[in-house]
Amino acid sequence: MRLAFILGEIASGLRRNLSMVVSVILVTFVSLTFVGAAGILQLQINQMKGYWYDRVQVAIFLCGPGSSSAGCASGPVTPDQQKAIQALLDSPAVSQYISDYHYESQAEAYQHFKEQFANSPIVDSVTPDQLPSSFRINLKDPQKYQIISETFSSRPGVETVIDQRQLLEKLFSVMNGASVVAIVIAAVMIVCAILLIGTTIRLSAFSRRRETGIMRLVGASKLVIQLPFVLEGVIAAVIGAVLASATVWAVAKFFLGDVLAQQYPDTAFISPGQALMLSPLLVGLGVVLAGTSSMLTLRRYLKV
Amino acid sequence: MIRFDNVTMVYDKKARPALDSVSIEIERGEFAFLVGPSGSGKSTFLRLVLREDRATAGAVFVAGQNVAKLSSWRVPRLRRGIGVVFQDFRLLPQKTVFANVAFAMQVIGKNRSVIRETVPEVLKTVGLEGMGHRMPHELSGGEQQRVAIARAVVNRPGILLADEPTGNLDPTTSQGIMQVLDKINQNGTTVVMATHDDDIVNSMRKRVIELGAGRVLRDEAKALYTSMMPAVRPPRLGEPAEDRHSVSSPAGAGEEEI
C-alpha cells in the first residue's frame, strides 16, 4: 500500500513538473555523455596499449644508398658492419634485454610497405632501394629502450634507432588530452545538473507543500514524505544516464565500429559491448548525483 | 494525557516569552477550551504539544512521554496519536472527500481494505454520510471543516487539537461542528480547542483555560468564556472586558457560500 502510494506521488510529481523534469533529463544526459566519451577514450587507449605494446619494436635502421645522416657518411651499410651489429645484438651485454630480433631486408621492407599502403598511389613511386633494411627488436622490458639506443646509434652503418613505442606515446597523450577535456566539460555539466536537480526538487516540494504539511501532521515518516521527491530526481537522472549509455554505445558501434574501423583496419577499436560496460558507471553516477543533491535540497526546504 | 511543567517558550530573546512558566494538566478524555486574545500563547501551546517546537525551559509530557526527549524519527509516532484541525480546513483541493480522509491513512501505510472500511464510518461520525465522492469546493465551509475533522480522527488519535475550528464559520454551523467535537470527545478522545468564540464556550460549559501574555490567568471547570470573578484579573489596556462580550458573530460568518 505504502509503495503504491509513493509511486503515485512520484507519478504526480513528475507530471506536475514535466518541463523541469525534461531539463534534468537533458542536462544529465549531456553531462554523462561527456563522462562516457572520456571513458571510451580511456578504454581505447588501454586497448591500443594492450594490442601494440606486444607488437611494437625498437627498429635499428641501417644506412641505405640515400641516407644522409652523420653515421652514414661512408655510404650504405657494408656486410661487415651488418655482421658486427648482429654480433653485438647476440652478445650477452645486450641480449639480456632482448627477447628476440629479426633482420628485415630492403625487399621485405618494400613488401610490408606495399601491404600497409595498398590503397595509396605512393606505392608506385617507391622502389625497394629507397627503403632501409633494419633489425627489428622486441625488448623484454620496453622501458629499457634507452640502452639499445645508446649502444647502437653511433655504430657505423646505423642510420637511426627508433622506439616505435614513443610514436604511440604521442598518440596516447593526444587521446589523454582529449579525455581530460571531456572530463572538464563533464564536470561543468555535472555542476549544472546538480543545481538543476536541486531547483526542480525545490519547486516540486513547494508545489506540494499542502500535502507534505498534512503528511507531517498525521505522522507520516520522514521516509514516506521525502522519498517521492528523491526518487523523482533519481528517475529523471537515470533516464538521462540511459540515454547517455545509448549514445556511448552508438558512438562505439557506428563511429568506431563502422567508420574508423574501415579506415584503419590494422587498429584495434573497442567493441560496442565494451562501451556498454560503461553504462552501469554512468547510471550509478546519475543516481548518486540526483540522490545527494535532492537530499541536500530537501534538508533545507522540506521540513519534516 | 497532556502535562505542562513550568513551560517557558522564548522565540525572541528581546520580546516577552510566548509562554511563561505555564503548568497545566489535561486528563485523558477531557474537553478543554484554550481561550485568550491573539498573542496570549494558545498557538504556542498547541505547537509544543505537536513538538513543532521545543520548550525553552520546563517539560511537555504527551501520553506520558517528554516530547523534548523524543528523537526526531520518533516524532511521527507521537503525531499519529494527535489529530489536528485548523481554522482554514487545509483540505487537498484536487482530492475527493473520501481521498482527503483516506490520505491520512495512506501516508502511514494502512492497507486498502482497512481504508475502504474505516473512511465511510468516520464520514458518518462527522455527519457526511454518502458525500465521499464530492470535491472540497462543492462543500459548504461547515462541511469542509467536518471533512478536516474526519481526517484528523480517522487514525483514532488519543488527542484532538483544534485551532479555532469555528473561526471561519457562522454561529449555527459552528454549533454543528461543536456537536461533532463533543461526540468525538465522548468516544474517549481528549479534545483541546483554542478559540475566540465566546458563544460556543458559554454553551458547552467545559473546562476553560485562559491564557494572557503567556501566563495561565484562569483554569476553571464547567466555565464560561469570561470569568465569573472579574476581580481576579487585572484589567488590560485597550481591551475592555465588556467589548468581548458583545461580539456574537465571529469573523468569517457568511463565507459559507464560497
Q: Which residues from chain B sit within 8 angstroms of residue A225, using beta carbons?
A: 107
Residue of B nearest to A303 (CA): B52
Rounded to the nearest integer, the mean pLDDT of chain A is: 85
In this complex, do B109 and A224 lie within 8 Å of one another by their Cβ atoms? yes
CB contact under 8 A, A220 and B78: no
Global model pTM greater than 0.80: no
Residue B217 contacts A, CB cutoff 8 Å: no
Indicate the pLDDT class of residue B238, thresholds 50, 70 and 90. Answer: low
Please, are residues B53 and B68 in contact by the beta-carbon 8 Å criterion? no
Site from A218, A222, A226, A227 to mutate, B interface, most B CB atoms within 10 angstroms: A218
Q: How many domains, in total, are found in chain B?
A: 1
State the nearest Cα–Cα gap between A238 and chain B, in angstroms: 26
Closest CA to A34 of A282, A300, A302, A304: A282
CB-closest option in B73, B80, B111 to A218: B80
> Percent of chain A, pLDDT > 70?
97
pLDDT at B56: 93
**Residues B139/B131, Cβ–Cβ less than 8 Å:** yes
Chain A nearest CA to B243, separation (Å):
36
Which residue from A5, A210, A304 is facing B107, i.e. has the nearest CB? Answer: A5
Would you say A30 and A237 are in contact if contact means Cβ atoms under 8 Å apart? Answer: no
The answer, yes or no, to whether residue A222 has pLDDT greater than 60, is: yes
A74 vs B71, residue with greater confidence: B71
Inter-chain CB proximity A217 and B79 less than 8 Å: yes
Does residue B105 contact residue B121 with C-beta atoms inside 8 Å?
Answer: no
Sign of CA dihedral A228, A229, A230, A232: positive
Tell me which residue in B50, B106, B155 faces A1 most closely, judged by beta carbons.
Answer: B106
Instruction: Give the pLDDT confidence score for residue A84 in this predicted structure.
Output: 86
B109 touches A at CB < 8 Å? yes
pLDDT at A265: 72
Comparing CB atoms, the residue among A214, A216, A219 nearest residue B77 is A219
DSSP state of B88: T
* Mean pLDDT over the full length of chain B: 87
Check whether A264 has a pLDDT greater than 90.
Answer: no
Strands B190-195 and B159-163: parallel
Among A82-86, B121-125, B236-240, name the one with the lowest average pLDDT. B236-240
Of these ranges, A83-92, A253-262, B2-11, B236-245, the one predicted with the greatest mean pLDDT is B2-11
Angstroms from B74 CA to nearest CA on chain A: 9
Domain ranges of chain A: 2-53+169-301, 58-164
Quote the minimal CA–CA distance from A215 to chain B in Å: 6
Residues A302/A225, Cβ–Cβ less than 8 Å: yes
Outline where A54-163 has alpha helix (H): 79-90, 92-95, 106-116, 145-152
Task: Report CB contact under 8 Å: A1, B78.
Answer: no
Checking if the pLDDT of A29 tops 60, the result is: yes
In chain B, the percentage of residues whose pLDDT exceeds 70 is 88
Is residue B67 one of the residues assigned to a domain? Answer: no
The pLDDT-based confidence of B256 (bands split at 50, 70, 90) is very low
Question: B104 CB near a chain A CB, below 8 Å?
Answer: yes
| Range name among A20-24, A48-52, A257-261, B120-124 with the lowest pLDDT average | A48-52
pLDDT of residue A195: 92
Collapsing DSSP to helix, strand or coil, B71 comes out as coil
Which of B46, B79, B101, B107 is most worth mutating to test chain A (most A CB atoms within 10 A of its CB)? B107
Contact pairs from chain A to chain B, CB under 8 Å = 58
Specify whether the CB–CB gap between B226 and B35 falls below 8 A.
no
Which residues of A are less than 8 Å from B77 in CB distance? 219
Tens-digit pLDDT profile for residues B130-145: 999 999 999 999 999 9
3-state class (DSSP) for residue A260: helix
| Chain A nearest-CA residue for B93 | A210
ipTM of the complex: 0.80
Task: Kindly tell me if the per-residue pLDDT of A90 is higher than 90.
Answer: no
Most confident region among A266-270, B188-192, B195-199, B228-232 by mean pLDDT = B188-192
The predicted pLDDT at position A261 comes to: 80
Segment A50-74, tens digit of pLDDT:
777 767 778 888 887 777 777 777 7
Question: Considering CB atoms only, which of B92, B107, B152 is closest to A220?
Answer: B107
Q: Does residue A152 contact residue A88 with C-beta atoms inside 8 Å? A: yes
Residue-wise pLDDT tens digits, B7-61: 999 998 888 899 999 999 999 999 999 999 888 999 999 999 999 999 999 999 9
Chain A residues contacting B, CB < 8 Å? Answer: 1-2, 5, 210-211, 213-222, 224-225, 304
Q: Contact at 8 Å (CB) between A233 and A200?
A: yes
Each residue of A122-181: pLDDT tens digit? 777 778 878 888 888 888 877 778 888 888 888 888 888 888 777 778 888 888 898 899
Position B98 in a domain: yes
Q: Does B95 touch chain A (CB under 8 A)?
A: no
The class of domain A58-164 in CATH terms is alpha beta
Q: What is the pLDDT of residue B255?
A: 39
A216 interaction partners in chain B (CB closer than 8 Å): 79
Question: Are the beta carbons of A210 and B111 separated by less than 8 Å?
Answer: no
pLDDT of residue A4: 81
The whole domain housing B116 covers 91-156
At residue B234 the predicted structure's pLDDT band, cuts being 50, 70 and 90, is: low
Coil, helix or strand at residue A100: strand
For residue B246, pLDDT beyond 50: no
Q: Which three cell numbers stand for residue A24?
A: 534534468
**Cα distances (Å, whole numbers) of residue B38 to A92, B155, B214:** 103, 31, 11
Work out the average pLDDT over A73-100: 84
pLDDT over 90 percentage in chain A: 22
Cα B115 to the chain's mean position, in Å? 24
The whole-number pLDDT of residue B248 equals 43
